[in-house]
Structure 1
Amino acid sequence: MKTSSVIARERGTDLLTVRNLHVEGFSDERWHPIVRGVDFSLKRGEVLGLIGESGAGKSTIGLAAMGYAKPGCRITQGSVAFDGADLLSMSEARRRRLRGSRIAYVAQSAAAWFNPAHRLLDQTVETAVAHGIASRGEANRDAVELYKRLQLPEPETIGFRYPHQVSGGQLQRAMTAMAMACRPDLIVFDEPTTALDVTTQVEVLASIRRIVEDFNTAAIYVTHDLAVVAQMADRIMVLRHGQTVEEAGTRQMLAAPTQEYTRTLWAVRKLAKLEIEARDHLLTIDNVTAAYAGRVKVLVDVSIKVPRGRTVALVGESGSGKSTLARVITGLLPAISGSISFDAQPLPLSLRQRSKDLLRRIQMIYQSPDSALNPRQTVEDIIARPLEFYLGLKGEQRDRRIGELMHMIEMDESFLDRLPGELSGGQKQRICIARALAANPDLIICDEVTSALDQIVQEEILKLLMHLQRELGVSYIFITHDIATVRAIADKVVVMHQGKVVEQGSKTEVLTTPHAAYTELLLSSVPEMDPDWLTQLLAKRKNQGILDEAG
């Protein structure tokens, strides 16, 4: 396979230089600053981590480094020099030739970027073939090797599946393979492991880091996860309100940040929920088995009880059955055996058999807000729909409740006339939370609802959810791969693996040693804010025989 670059890749030479970057976004019938005079440089083989709150400009800067501004945004000032050529002044045709071949992008939400009508393999190899970097046969073989390096199951055949036939985590890894197919000089990673469980995240991070090192690829790594950026970045840039707060080498930044805002970021996520014994259960799942299209069983004899006014956390790696169980509870995938009771009454297994009131009482917040929100509806329309459909609210009552919900998710009413495409990832997820709350449910199934949010916003959302639980008595099923989130919000923990429950109990029982073997694997995979953590973990697992040479 040919290399995408016609010049030698010498480690340490300058590749990207950004100077005085200014980006604006359009809303409320005027342009607003998003990025304000940001400067940075990037050398071949170097990884720059961008961190900061939602709306800080991280993703906007990552896209601008490719000479691109998303719809509703414009680059108004500055320069972006890639390998000596200014991306902002060159023709669009020349920029298109660079993107995909020498500059690649891995998005936060793979589900929103894959074409549902084409197989994964066709989309993985498309750019390499189109740019003449490889023949179709060569590109196919290379794609399989990338699938193996990224720990995708059945790498020789998974490429023949369509996007909807793989899990969210598997789809995110396939997108990483697609970006790496041309061996680009620069890759912009925009939260590439957000959708992944901790065990899968370890393998993907190791694969990304190894490929960056092997090919001297420069990378911009956008993330809100401080422990992840500690493993991946050579340097860290902290952003707030579109401006640089501080920038330094990773070890220096972690050991001695100079700015108070950075120290605040380092100190978040110390929530801890007191466990209180529940006297009765809102939801009881008894020996439920489910399968897709009546074929392979994806849930096997699952039994779980959700206490009234409490939180049950479902943890496990991608494909373990967590989201499938959520689909069974909501009636989107009727179980083939077993039973479910809700509020001491049998719950019809099929969505079509449930009354409007039952539909109202069980709500779900999805993992990917990009897929869950209609891009053509305003924020006001999105939140108003459940208020009108379930509660019959209209006029002033409806408008007042919309305002209350916006206040609850810490967004003001100036966002109401915006479309989802005009919001940050964190803002979009908060709108999804408001939409679920609008129905006044008894049970909310939260499918990785904080995974797209920065550390500070995560903390605020978790505080909000716990406050609502205390005030309203709402129950949560919290699907997550973030053990810090489990510690913060859970009363009970259920560990799933390959469609089965391998361990469950109170948070203290499950998270305190000794653990079941699989639970121990999960807990040991939680990243720590130590730049050597990933290297040490991989070495330990290799010695234990958990990883092969490729892993």
Structure 2
Amino acid sequence: MSDVMIEVKGLRIVAGSETEGMSEIVKGVDFAVKKGEVLALIGESGSGKTTIALSLLGYTRHGCAFAGGSVRVGGTDVLSLDDAGRRALRARTVAYVAQSAAAGFNPARTLMDQVIEPTQLHRLMTRKAARAKAVELFRALALPAPDSIGDRYPHQVSGGQLQRVMAAMALITDPAVVVFDEPTTALDVTTQIEVLVAFKRVIKEVGATAVYVSHDLAVVAQMADRIVVLNGGEVQECGEVDQVLDAPAHAYTRALLAASDHRQGRGADERAAAVDGGTEAPLLEIRGLSAGYGRIDRHGHPAVCVLDDVNLSIARGSALGVIGESGSGKTTLARVVAGLVERASGEVLFEGQPLSAQLGGRTADQYRRIQLVFQNADTALNPSHTVADILGRPLAFYKGLRGAAAKRRIGELLDLVKLPASTAGRRPGGLSGGQKQRVNLARALAAEPSLILCDEVTSALDTVVGAAILELLRDLRRELSVSYMFISHDISTVRAICDDVLVLYAGQGVEGGQRKLLDRPPHHPYTGLLVDSVPALERGWLDAHRNIGSCALPPLSADSGSGRLCSFRARCSVRVDGKCNAVPPPLRTLPSGAQILCHRSADELQTLQPVRGAA
């Protein structure tokens, strides 16, 4: 098998210690990858994907050890290498692109210094040659200003750009194998498309063999040639992408596909019926909201404006999805409602009563009835406290419950979020990502809120766990009549759980209406871009949509200086010079009932939008 680049046979990895006991987390895994092929490792969190991928570098996490089997890369027996041999292997023969680029870079050094560092450590080329090669990779990865971006520091580029810089660092040594570990999980849909296109093109150009770790089946369908399905450290299925996705042989693979369909909102009409608000006043209403950071001027505008003239309402028992790219103002909106960020101007009404801009100005009941569930449960839960301590605090603060009464209610809360009672005695470090997010949600429910602000609560979870959390949120809404503001960059998630949608771009609400506005054109041009950027679970989708948002735009004429111009005009392929950059867009109502801020009529948008994203 001279064309085989990677061969893994009977790989076993254990975790723990001899005193506390050892557990097998990778159980006799076998697979092979041919030269130039892209193999995807998929499965739930804890299935062993990353552990197996890291074995290709001869590495195990702290507390883990190789217990058997073999790993061969290009004929080299990786597990038999000593420390020096493994250091020589890493970056030179096998390179790694981590999930979090932000955590992988030194903030005190320039990007260029870090990208060329592997070439200097392995003495592959001069510093001048390395810098020239880095610029070539920046250009191939479609990074802006490739000649100068290397002079920036990590905090001076976006998340998607930093992910591509990390890929350049991995590829600069011309490795035979590149391991991509969930490299687009935390990116919004439009940025993800750019990064996937860049990765796929460069892998093909350099002829590298790749292992792509992911829980996103739609992404895998675009990137991989073959798939290995993992569960509990064991291979459940291995085959060509088309076979695994279209005719899965194993029940677990079928369950993964079903969870992906469920999370994308297929069959969403079967969810809890939308609430008919009738003439009842909204639970939450926001009018003309502006917010940001820094000194507020006499016109009510902050020095740095994050939200500008945002309007929305949430009926009792309903769910509003707030979508947009990173930096659109979604989280700031939730923090304004929660009282963590002061608004500069506008009104926020809760049950018809004004909410103070400052948390200290709110009543105890208002404080209790609006709860925020943070995106990252790892940082939201105190690692030194037990789950009982974490849930007991809001029970004591809001309800005055202590002792046996608190213990009883903690058991009820754990049952409500479908966690065993034994979880109460555990600390967050001993829980899975999905379990921690359930505890995060149980803490909010302890206050018996009317409104829960969910900030990207499923973005870091795998498909199966994310679908389970969405199902839980639907159940709680039905059982407790709780309302949600559901903040996400994942349109599939919003489709699955929300009744209404607000689309934010650069702090402006550019479209709002019922969830059906996402289903078909016409849309606001930005909404259309977001919808078109959601990968479909079908081969070739990325190639057919690789030009989304990247068409050449005609130059805009000079701005008139008028306030509140369309914030999307610089990226809009259907903009109108002399209107979009001269006067604020009118509020239009589309046939779907959605309201948009746009100079284009519904008929014009219907005609123009179907051609978006053509290859």
Structure 2: which amino acid aligns with 1:206?
A: V
Kindly provide the amino acid, as one letter, of the partner of residue 473 in structure 2: L
Q: Structure 2 counterpart of 1:466, which letter?
A: R
Is the CA contact (8 Å cut-off) linking 1:169 and 1:318 kept in structure 2?
Answer: no
Matching residue's letter, 1:501: G
Displacement of 1:230 = 0.4
SS at 1:228's partner residue?
Answer: helix
1:92 aligned residue: 83
Distance in 2, matches of 1:23 and 1:150, equals 35
2:73 aligned with 1:82: yes
2:80 is paired with a residue of what secondary structure? coil
Aligned residue in 2 for 1:366? 374
1:39 to 26, 30, 52: 30
Residue 60 of structure 2 is aligned to residue 69 of structure 1: yes
What code does the residue aligned with 2:188 have?
Answer: D
**Partner SS for 1:502:** strand
Aligned partners of 2:140 and 2:202 also within 8 Å: no
Shift of 1:244: 1.0
**Distance 1:359-1:175 versus aligned 2 partners, 3 A rule:** farther
Q: Describe the SS at the equivalent of 1:88.
A: helix
Aligned residue in 2 for 1:277: 276
Q: 1:287 deviation in Å?
A: 1.6
Q: State TM-score, norm by structure 2.
A: 0.76
| One-letter code aligned to 1:91 | D
Distance in 1 of aligned mates of 2:225 and 2:305: 44
- 1:172 Cα deviation after fit: 4.9
Q: Which amino acid aligns with 1:451?
A: S
Distance, in Å, in 2 between the alignment partners of 1:382 and 1:154 is 47
Choose the corresponding residue for 1:432, options 418, 437, 440: 440
CA contact (8 A) 1:46 1:234 kept: yes
CA contact (8 A) 1:12 1:46 kept: no
- 2:50 maps to a residue whose letter is S
| TM-superposed deviation, 1:359 | 4.2
Partner of 2:595: none
Q: Distance in 2 between matches of 1:433 and 1:369?
A: 9
Call closer, same or farther: CA 1:322–1:123 in 2, change over 3 Å: farther
Map of 2:600 onto structure 1:
none
Could you say what secondary structure the match of 2:448 adopts?
coil
* Residues 153, 359 of structure 1: alpha-carbon distance in 2 compared, 3 angstrom cutoff: farther
Question: 2:141 and 2:396 mapped to 1: Cα distance?
Answer: 45
Q: Which runs of 5+ in 2 are unaligned?
A: 295-301, 554-572, 574-610
Q: How do residues 322-337 of structure 1 correspond to structure 2 at under 5 angstroms? A: 322-337=330-345
| Correspondence for 2:452 | 444
Residues 117 and 358 (structure 1), Cα distance of their counterparts in 2 relative to 1, 3 Å cut: farther
SS of aligned partner of 2:328: coil
Structure 1 unmatched runs, 5+: 1-10
CA distance in 2, matches of 1:103, 1:356: 57
Cα 1:21–1:440 change in 2 (3 A) is: farther
Pairwise CA RMSD: 3.6
Does structure 1 residue 307 correspond to structure 2 residue 301? Answer: no
Q: TM-score, normalised by structure 1?
A: 0.85
Counterpart mapping for 1:150-549 below 5 A? 156=148, 160=152, 163=155, 172=163, 175-176=166-167, 178-180=169-171, 182-268=173-259, 269=262, 270-272=266-268, 273=271, 274-278=273-277, 279-293=280-294, 294-351=302-359, 353-354=361-362, 358-413=366-421, 420-538=428-546
Q: 1:505 to 1:404 in 2, by over 3 A?
A: same
CA-CA distance at 1:311 after TM superposition? 0.7
**1:320-346 superposed Cα distances (whole Å, 9 cap, x missing partner):** 222232233333332222232223332
Kept in 2, the 8 Å contact 1:45–1:215? The answer is no
Partner Cα separation in structure 2 for residue 13 and residue 166 of structure 1:
39
- AA aligned opposite 1:229: V
Q: Secondary structure at the match of 2:320?
A: strand
165-174 or 282-291, larger mean C-alpha shift: 165-174
What is the Cα deviation at residue 536 of structure 1?
Answer: 1.1
After superposition, the Cα gap between the structure-2 partners of 1:434 and 1:127, relative to the gap in structure 1 and judged at 3 Å, is farther
In structure 2, distance between residues paired with 1:419 and 1:129: 43
Q: Percent identity?
A: 49
CA 1:276–1:152 in 2, change beyond 3 Å: closer, same or farther? farther
Contact 1:125 1:140 in 2 (8 A): yes
Decide whether aligned partners of structure 1 residues 113 and 396 sit closer, same or farther in structure 2, where only a CA change above 3 A counts.
farther
Deviation at 1:227, TM superposition (A): 1.1
CA–CA distance in structure 2, aligned partners of residues 86 and 469 of structure 1: 54
Residue number in structure 2 paired with 1:8: none
Aligned to 2:298: none
Letter paired with 2:544: Q
Shift of 1:284: 1.9
Distance 1:424-1:518 versus aligned 2 partners, 3 A rule = same
1:54 to 41, 45, 49: 45
The CA distance in 1 between the partners of 2:166 and 2:390, in whole Å, is 29
Q: Is the 8 A contact 1:19 1:38 kept in 2?
A: yes
- Which structure has the greater CA radius of gyration? 2
User: What amino acid is the match of 1:265?
Assistant: L
Q: Tell me what 2:11 maps to.
A: 21
Where 1:336 maps in the other structure, the secondary structure is strand
- Of structures 1 and 2, the one with the larger relative CO (CA 8 A, separation 6+) is 1
The alignment partner of 1:60 has SS state of: helix
Q: Tell me the alpha carbon deviations over residues 122-169 of structure 1, each in whole angstroms, 9 at most, x when there is no partner.
A: 655555555555666766676666666656677756974564x77665
Following the alignment from structure 1 to structure 2, what is the Cα–Cα distance between the partners of residues 383 and 168?
34
Whether the 8 Å CA contact 2:274–2:318 is kept in 1: the answer is no
Write the letter of the residue equivalent to 1:493: V
Equivalents in 1 of 2:101, 2:425: separation in Å? 26
Distance 2:129 2:368 in 1: 52
In 1, Cα distance between the equivalents of 2:376 and 2:383?
A: 13
Shift of 1:492: 0.5
Whole-angstrom distance in 2 between the partners of 1:111 and 1:82 = 28
Contact kept in structure 2, 1:312 and 1:490, CA below 8 Å? yes
